[in-house]
């Protein structure tokens, strides 16, 4: 049985989420604040984390970053009452895999959790590792290196680079990349994708890979050019 950690300071919200998840066959572990959430990630080893943004003490953005330090692959769904684009972009930039805005439909919540688990299982099953112009991408190990020099990408930066590298020469729109990497179309896609691409380029450059294989296609999006 898959285990979900629900992090929210509101008891009614935790209870509602627990009912939805348990009726769908999941086991549920709860945390009332950020500190407890970090302890539960280590103690209960959840398969998915549902994380509220607005909490007293450690907010969800900080907790998300800390969880990413502990695990690069643990799926995180951020739950928020906020509708501002910047908050949603910030959650994804801090390492969340998806987000859901309150109030939500229980069926959608369960569907999102299932989607995150499918993606996680798919990544675990992959054995791919390939080299392109001195750039080595190890899918199974979720690591990137340039001439044996490790490139410290965040989980979403890795996913974005991998998606582009798997399809060299193909141009992806920002909307396509958001749909493929975050499983959801949302406002603010341009800023989120552009921010990640900027970070990827800088980290590859710092590792010695120039020019960047991630090219801008003006007015459309990005593509990976393996023969740069």
11-38 pLDDT, tens digit per residue, is: 999 999 999 999 999 999 999 999 999 9
Mean pLDDT of 198-208: 93
The SS3 call for residue 59 is: coil
User: Would you say residue 125 has pLDDT above 80?
Assistant: no
Q: What is the mean pLDDT of the chain?
A: 85
Angle at the Cα of 49 from the Cα atoms of 60 and 10, rounded to 5 degrees? 55
Comma-separated ranges of CATH 1.10.10.10 domains in the chain? 127-224
Please give the pLDDT value at position 188: 55
Residues 6+ apart with CB under 8 A from 115: 98, 183
Q: Is the pLDDT of residue 105 over 50?
A: yes
% of the chain with per-residue pLDDT over 70: 86
pLDDT at 127: 46
Per-residue pLDDT, averaged over 182-209, amounts to: 80
pLDDT in tens, 141-155: 788 999 888 999 988
pLDDT (0 to 100) of residue 10: 93
Distance between CA 83 and CA 100 in Å, rounded? 10
The answer on pLDDT for 186 being more than 70 is no
* DSSP single-letter state for residue 106: H
Between 120 and 70, whose confidence is greater? 70
pTM: 0.58
CATH 3.40.50.2300 residue spans of the chain: 3-124
In CATH, 3-124 is 3.40.50.2000: no
Q: 222 pairs with which residues across the strands?
A: 172, 216
- Of the pLDDT bands very low, low, confident and very high (cuts 50, 70, 90), residue 91 is low
Take residue 158 and report the two structure tokens written for it. 């890795």
pLDDT at 185: 46
Between 1.10.10.10, 3.40.50.300, 3.40.50.10330, 3.40.1000.10, what CATH number should domain 127-224 receive?
Answer: 1.10.10.10
Q: Is the pLDDT of residue 124 over 80?
A: no
């Amino acid at each position: 049985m898959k285990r979900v950690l629900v992090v929210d300071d509101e008891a009614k919200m935790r209870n509602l989420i627990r009912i939805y998840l348990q009726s769908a066959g999941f086991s549920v572990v709860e945390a009332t604040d950020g500190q407890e959430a970090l302890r539960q990630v280590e103690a209960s080893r959840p398969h998915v984390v549902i994380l509220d943004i607005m909490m007293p003490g450690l907010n969800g953005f900080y907790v998300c970053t800390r969880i990413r330090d502990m695990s690069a692959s643990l799926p995180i769904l951020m739950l928020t009452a906020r509708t501002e684009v910047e908050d949603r972009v910030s959650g994804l930039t801090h390492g969340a895999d998806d987000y859901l805005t309150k109030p939500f439909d229980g069926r959608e919540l369960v569907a999102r959790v299932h989607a995150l688990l499918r993606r996680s299982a798919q990544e675990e099953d992959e054995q791919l590792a390939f080299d392109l112009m001195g750039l080595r991408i190890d899918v199974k190990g979720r690591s990137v290196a340039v001439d044996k020099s490790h490139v410290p990408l965040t989980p979403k930066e890795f996913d974005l680079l991998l998606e582009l590298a798997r399809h060299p020469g193909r141009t992806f729109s920002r909307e396509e990349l958001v749909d493929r990497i975050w499983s959801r179309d949302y406002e603010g896609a341009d800023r989120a994708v552009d921010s990640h691409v900027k970070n990827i380029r800088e980290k590859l450059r710092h590792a010695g890979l120039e020019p960047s294989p991630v090219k801008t296609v003006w007015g459309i999006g990005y593509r990976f050019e393996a023969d740069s």
